[in-house]
Amino acid sequence: MKKYLILVIVLFFQSEAYCQNIKQEDVRTLIVFFDGLRPDYITKEGMPNLYAFSKRGVVAKNHHSVFPTVTRVNSPSYATGSYPKSHGIMGNSVFFEGIDPNQSLNTGEFEDLERINEFTDGKLLTAKSLGELLHENGHHMMVFSSGSAGQAFLQNHTISGGAVVNSNIILPESMQESILKEFGPIPEHSKPNTAQHQWMTNALIKKGLKMVGPLVSAIWYSDPDGTAHADGIGSPSAMASIKSVDTEFGKIISALKQKGLSDNYNIIVSTDHGFITNVGKDNLTQVLIDNGLKADKNSDDVVVAGGAIHLKDKSEANIEQVVKVLQSEEWIGAIFTKASKQDKTKGIIDGTLSFNTIHWNHPDRTADILVSPNWNDDKNEKGYAGTSFSRGVAGHGGISPYEINITLLAAGPSFKKSFSSDLPTSNVDIVPTVLAIHNLPLPETVNGRVLNELLKKGQNVASKPKIETISTSVELESGIYELILQRTIYGAYYYVDFARTVRSNWSN
């Protein structure tokens, strides 16, 4: 028994020494996204594999989704390490007047992204992506995704010697036949989307997790987002979808062990956004029509793309007219406009804050107004906090803490063990950290920072974060509208925590 115990101890320390001394060229990275994963989903009972993973690696507890908290903003935000102000994808829906004078485009559709790419002379993204950066340094990236084609494509839009394997597209096209022959046809989408999750996991394990292969692989699971949108947070189907993706994550961990690659792979886990229960009935486009600000849904005087409003008449007086109507609607929350010349945190219209405060100030692609629905802390029937006045059953996109506050997990040869951090982090910090791990240069377009506090060999973290509050208000005929934005400042970086509105002396 004593000899057996000694042998176990020796093998343990040998394993630890190997992990500590692994050659840099033998380190690989896997990025895992669970679409719409609230932090309170990660429990021992609900997600046992991810929960166990969180206990052995690092946990960034103050992690942030990028606002607007939608998938096709956060996909390129993580992939480029930059905010919309730099990469240019402003929402799940976007508007380019030169493509269509009165209709927005769906960034989830590959065909619409191709139209944007052609219109912008190949500048679909106006910041360099991880795939491009790896290619420039002799490496490549493979993306696997059971979500929309747009979300998958935006992770590696130039392909750059790598690949995108998605339930709707497989790129480069030369790979399609061999991939489908090897793994069979991709199953139809379901709720939960278990069959597609399984197919993508199998493809990742065989094609992405190997030493002679991509330096970085990524897999994106469409659940629990897809199921929770339809049936609500905490519904039986939503909880089943969480179990489904956790099972697939467990398969990845087991496969790395079976391949003898556990000590070679860093695994970084995040999500694109949180989730909130919806109770609203109003529609932004209809509100504009009802107030005589938009002739009909097909007119080009006002084009609505998600929460972004594009005006044909861009005069300050016309923008103010629209904003005042929105401020009077109690279901409307935060409103943003272009920055005032006098104060860059304030918008050009009284009672609004600027696009600068939320990293949405792209030089060419911003709208005239950006709107987020109002929210509160009410719980739904399953006990999950957070209620939005958006339409539908449940969703995201707003600027509440329930949609912004998410969790980042990581483990592997480059990360500390059993460590948690309260420092602010964001999805834009993932790529800078991956580049630092692999000793690759950071491009000028990167807005995020290297998460040194999570790395074994990271530099000392000396400064402490501070909370900043920015507010503005305006007196309307119906009462006072006040907008308050909270940000966390950490050195040269700032993270949007949430924004809320307060209406006082209100009368309808």
Give the pLDDT of residue 5: 44
The answer to whether 314 and 438 have CB atoms below 8 angstroms apart is: no
Domain boundary assignment for the chain: 22-276+397-454, 283-330+332-373+466-504
290: CB partners within 8 A, 6+ apart: none
At 138, give phi and psi (nearest 5°).
80, 20
Tens of pLDDT along the chain (508 residues) come to 444 444 433 334 444 434 456 788 899 999 999 999 999 999 999 999 999 999 999 999 999 999 999 999 999 999 999 999 999 999 999 999 999 988 999 999 999 999 999 999 999 999 999 999 999 999 999 999 999 999 999 999 999 999 999 999 999 999 999 999 999 999 999 999 999 999 999 999 999 999 999 999 999 999 999 999 999 999 999 999 999 999 999 999 999 999 999 999 999 999 999 999 999 999 999 999 999 888 676 778 899 999 999 999 999 999 999 999 999 999 999 999 999 999 999 999 999 999 999 999 999 999 999 999 999 999 999 999 999 999 999 999 999 999 999 999 999 999 999 999 999 999 999 999 999 999 999 999 999 999 999 999 876 676 799 999 999 999 999 999 999 999 999 999 999 999 999 999 887 6
Helix axes 236-258, 194-203, angle to 10 degrees: 20
Structure tokens at 481: 């509208």
- Cα-Cα-Cα-Cα torsion 179, 183, 185, 187, nearest 10 degrees, comes to -120
The answer to whether 57 and 412 have CB atoms below 8 angstroms apart is: yes
For residues 470 and 487, give the distance between their C-alpha atoms in angstroms, rounded to a whole number.
8
For residues 270 and 129, give the distance between their C-alpha atoms in angstroms, rounded to a whole number.
18
Secondary-structure percent of the chain, ordered helix, strand, coil, rounded to 5: 35, 25, 40
Q: Which helix (H) or strand (E) holds 454?
A: none
At 86, give phi and psi (nearest 5°).
-110, -45
- Please provide the CATH number assigned to the domain covering 22-276+397-454: 3.40.720.10
Query: Global pTM?
Result: 0.94
For residues 461 and 457, give the distance between their C-alpha atoms in angstroms, rounded to a whole number.
12
At 371, give phi and psi (nearest 5°).
-120, 140
At 240, give phi and psi (nearest 5°).
-65, -35
Structure tokens at 127: 């910041």
Q: What value, to the nearest 5°, has the Cα angle with vertex 96 and ends 105 and 76?
A: 65
475: CB partners within 8 A, 6+ apart: none
